Amino acid sequence: MSHILVAGSSSRFLGLIPPKPNVFSYNFDSHLITDLTKNQQIKKIISGGAYKYIYNCIWTEDDKIYFYPLENNYNMPVLISNNSKYFTTITEDKYEINLKQVILDLSDDNDDDDYNEFRMKDIFGNAVGLFFWMKNGNLFNLNFNLGFKQVKTLQSKIITRFGTGIMSDRYCIKNDKCESFLCGESKDLKEIKIENQDPIFFGCYNTETDIIITKENKLFKKSNDVFHYKSSLFEKESKVVDLKCGYRHSVILLENQSIYAFGFNSLYQCGVFNYTSGENIDEPTKLTIPLKLPILSIQCTSRGTCIVCKDEIIFIGEVVESEINKTKRISTSNLEDNNYFNAVACGPWHYIVYKKNEKISKSLEYFTNNLGKRNVKLTDVVVYFE
């Protein structure tokens, strides 16, 4: 069985009460994994929401999507009731999302020969919903206020880039026509135009601030509905490979394994410790804390930053016990059961550290349940047996 480690002041949202705020709770949360069979492997955990909504979502290797809303979430019972054909009740607080039915109902032109129509590329979450990005480029959104919809632009439904923020109700997309758009929770898409620049990374704050990094490695920050260029030291250092945003801070990972951060530094979440806590870091500043390379990923909570390395996971800001120990490190190996952790899901005020499946395989159940009678070439099929 997969193990999950929960840390942070909001462990109560996962059925755990830590000994005191912002201190690790080294309990394994069986609630999220009780109903996974021994052959189901975790591909990704998505943990999100803010204030009105707190949720966790498990995406398994056989492309099942399990949704765990917090009990008494605002409007969630109504949402599930109104969209009952898309939710299968497993327990009173666990549901399976029937994404295939969502796609069949909402897609304009279902293609019986499109092998990738029901194959998931990735899942994202923000303050008000989940986003399901399919391998054929289609993007579907479960908005907790509005229900399911397909996200598409006037010129194309093929989405090539996506970005949001863990505490934001906004998101950005880019289509296969090289057009970029910003969308609020219930607003129409608004085209993003930056002259002579090609946006490729997007991030959104809780406030009306959005961050863009272009193919040319330039940083732009939105204020008063206009994206303004912001010079940065990383611009000529190395190519940006990832951008993550918290409540009001941004973390940037470069190809050369350098990390830069800027924005709110209230809990030293930018990794800059020679500032008074609470001061903003206006310029992207390189993290100088020692790291065991390679870096696998970066993540953000509201006021926290997480760096996942091959041999350890480093937490900055939230979940750190005191100002004296400004970082918290845990080994990715768990010697008691020969297990190890290799991934982190960030919620609004907590982390979930877990082991994801690293096998490049698809189960027979995946093809049976998701492809049905669709035409599949035998060369496309890889079946893995435990």
Mean pLDDT of 362-378: 47
pLDDT confidence of residue 134: 95
What is the average pLDDT score of the chain?
Answer: 81
pLDDT at 262: 96
Rounded Cα distance between 141 and 124, Å, is 9
- More confident: 22 or 251: 251
Q: What's residue 147's pLDDT?
A: 94
Most confident of 22-36, 222-236, 315-329: 222-236
Residue 386: predicted pLDDT = 29
Over residues 123-149, mean pLDDT: 94
* Mean pLDDT of all residues in 241-256: 97
Per DSSP, the three-state class of 90 is strand
**What pLDDT shows up at residue 131?**
97
Does position 178 have pLDDT exceeding 80, yes or no? yes
Residue 95 predicted with pLDDT over 80: yes
Give me the pLDDT at residue 180, please. Answer: 96
CA-closest candidate to residue 310, choices 291, 335, 327, 328:
291
Q: Note the pTM of the prediction, 2 decimals.
A: 0.85
Q: What is the pLDDT of residue 253?
A: 98
Q: Sign of the C-alpha dihedral, residues 35, 56, 84, 172? A: negative
Q: What is the pLDDT of residue 192?
A: 94
**381 pLDDT exceeds 60?**
no
| Tens-digit pLDDT profile for residues 271-291 | 988 876 567 999 999 999 999
pLDDT value of residue 87: 97
Q: What is the mean pLDDT of residues 67-75?
A: 77
Least confident of 184-198, 225-239, 241-255, 301-315: 184-198
pLDDT category of residue 3 using cuts at 50, 70 and 90: low
Please return the burial class of 341, using the count of CB atoms within 10 Å of its CB with bins 0-12, 13-18 and 19+: buried
Q: What is the C-alpha to C-alpha distance for residues 257 and 154, in angstroms, rounded to an integer? A: 38
In whole angstroms, give the CA distance from residue 179 to residue 173. 8
| Segment (H or E) for 370 | helix 364-370
Give the pLDDT mean for 125-153. Answer: 94
| Residue 26 in this model has a pLDDT that exceeds 60 | no
Query: Given a cut of 60, is residue 319 above it in pLDDT?
Result: yes
- Judged against a pLDDT cut of 60, whether residue 298 lies above it is answered with yes
Question: Which of 19-28, 29-38, 91-100, 202-211 shows the lowest mean pLDDT across its residues?
Answer: 19-28
Distance CA 323, CA 293 (A): 25
| pLDDT at residue 103 greater than cutoff 90 | yes
The DSSP annotation for 199-237 comes to EEEEEE-SSS-EEEEETTS-EEEEETTEEEEE--GGGGT
Q: Residue 382's pLDDT is what? A: 39
Confidence tier at 115 by pLDDT (50, 70, 90): low
